[in-house]
Chain A
Amino acid sequence: MDAQTIIARRVAKELRPGNLVNLGIGIPTLVANYVPEGLKVFFQSENGLIGTGPIPEQGMAHPLLTDAGGKPISALPGAATFDSAMSFGLIRGGHVDITVLGGLQVDAAGHLANWMIPGKMVPGMGGAMDLVSGAKRVIVAMQHAAKGKSKIVARCSLPLTSARPVDMVVTDMAVIAFPDGKATLMETAPGLKIAEVLAVTEAELAIPDVVPEMKL
């Protein structure tokens, strides 16, 4: 199983019946492919839709029905559309149960940086700051390391997305959560030893007595 599939499958296990879920661009988008059979959740697209469905079949796309990246999507029965004030009212107002975002860095206190690399890449925060500030649960879905460098750092060197810590980080190597504000290794990817995870983790992780393998 490749890294992205591991991450997306594991995040999908966090979804609960009836959840309103916002998926960011990139790996988070893949989570929709692994929703457990029979589980009904609502996906929000922040450009103004609840009830986002899969990519339409050929010839069935509508130019005025797109995801936040401007790509054609479909809408499921029961879908609703609205303007951006409503969309961000839902997000900031605590009506979104889970947001899944990509990340550049997450630090030992659970702070996320995911919107700019000063002087190099400044795309903008889009909806990320509102999502991290307002969603009930924030899950970061990202690779554990980039070019051999840990993305789980002691302290974010990049500008923060929010002062609010995230709830969970799912990587291709581990699940990390922040009980009592301390980064804690909750699970390891199948076949990986704790020491192998720690070898590519810059942040200090608390290690519980039992660290199970991810169930995918």
Chain B
Amino acid sequence: MKSVSAEEAVAMIPNGASIMVGGFMGVGTPERLLDELVRQKKADIALISNDAAVPGKGVGKLFEGGQVSRMIGTHIGLNPKAQQQMLANEITVDLIPQGTFVERIRAGGCGLGGVLTPTGVGTLVEQGKQRVEVNGKTFLLETALRADFALVHAFLSDYVGNLSYALTARNFNPVMAMAADTVIVTAEHIVPVGVIAPDHVVTPGPLVDYLVVNG
């Protein structure tokens, strides 16, 4: 784990990169990295995020300047900009069920080829997917999902990158922290080793490539 500034962290991300961003409606999102993505005008982003948040918050900021070209997510209904861009075919949006979204990412981080889920059988979601029967039940084969970068927000990080999360800001963060080639983390508080007891570490330090310094 290396400590870097937000500017240095985002400078590593090339245009056209696939980026997972933690958070649920902007809660638990690394806002400083998103501000930096906007400031550095990163373009052609393939965004993997649960939702499009709202304009001006979280990943919502990326839609204002048209920085996203593709998105995989579950819900964009509360961001009119993202809706407009999708309906005008300016961006490609792959909307998938939320439980499938998180399991595909989990599979990507855990070395699995994919998962079998009953969700979506007999709906539009099934199009182009393989049906698999197991013990008389029908499932869809949903393939694993990974990204070039994961941008994660924790509540606490210690000096070696052990992470813990707070309340509903945990959401997709620990799962995404396993599913990208490069993991960049912001934390509300950076604390000495030992403050987070081993039993309370959710994301172990070796998963974190870069910790963004505070202040």
Q: Does B3 contact A (CB under 8 A)?
A: no
Say whether A82 faces chain B, with CB atoms less than 8 Å apart.
Answer: yes
The answer to whether A123 touches B167 (Cβ under 8 A) is no
**Chain B 23-37 near chain A by CB (<8 Å), digits 1 or 0:** 011111000000000
Size class of the contact patch on chain B:
35 or more
A18 at the interface (CB under 8 A from B): no
Residues in A23-48 with C-beta less than 8 Å from chain B: 45-48
For chain A, the count of residues having a C-beta within 8 Å of the partner chain is 41
B56: Cβ under 8 A from any A Cβ:
no
| Smallest beta-carbon distance A67→chain B, Å | 8
Determine the chain B residues whose CB is within 8 A of the CB of A130 once the complex forms.
Answer: 97-100, 119
| Among listed A160-168, A175-183, A208-216, interface-contacting one | A160-168
Residues of A with C-beta under 8 A to B67? none
Which listed residue, A63, A82, A83, A127, touches B99 by the CB 8 Å rule? A127
User: In the complex the two chains form, is A66's CB within 8 Å of B123's CB?
Assistant: no
Question: In the complex, which residues of chain B have a beta carbon less than 8 angstroms from the beta carbon of A87?
Answer: 102
Q: Choose one: B25, B50, B86, B155; the contact of A122 (CB below 8 Å).
A: B86
Minimal beta-carbon separation of B53 from chain A (angstroms): 8
Given A64-B28, A84-B50, A84-B175, A160:B122 Cβ within 8 A: yes
- C-alpha gap A144/B100 in the complex (Å): 31
Measured CA separation A65–B73 after assembly (Å):
22
Smallest CB separation, B9 vs chain A (Å): 22
Interface residues of B in 170-192 (CB under 8 A from A): 170-175
Q: Known contacts A70-B54, A129-B119, A130-B119; is A48 also within 8 Å of B168 by CB?
A: yes
A135 to chain B, nearest CB (A): 12
Q: A64 contacts B75, CB within 8 Å?
A: no
Minimum distance in angstroms from A22 CB to a CB of chain B: 12
Judge whether B171 and A83 touch: CB under 8 Å: yes
**Would you give the 0/1 interface string for B122-137, flagging 1 where the beta carbon is closer than 8 Å to chain A?**
1111000000000000
Asked if A4 CB lies within 8 Å of chain B CBs, one says no
Tell me if B193 is interfacial: C-beta within 8 Å of chain A.
no
Pick the most buried of B83, B168, B171: most chain A CB atoms within 10 A of its CB: B168
A46-B98, A134-B118 known; 16 new pairs, CB 8 Å cut-off, are A47-B25, A47-B168, A48-B170, A70-B24, A75-B167, A87-B102, A88-B98, A88-B99, A92-B99, A126-B98, A129-B99, A133-B118, A134-B99, A134-B119, A159-B124, A162-B121
Can you report 29 residue pairs joining A to B where beta carbons are below 8 Å apart?
A48-B24, A64-B27, A64-B166, A64-B167, A66-B27, A66-B168, A70-B24, A70-B27, A70-B54, A81-B167, A84-B50, A84-B102, A84-B172, A85-B106, A88-B99, A122-B76, A123-B83, A124-B76, A125-B96, A127-B99, A129-B120, A130-B99, A130-B119, A133-B120, A134-B99, A159-B123, A160-B123, A163-B122, A163-B123
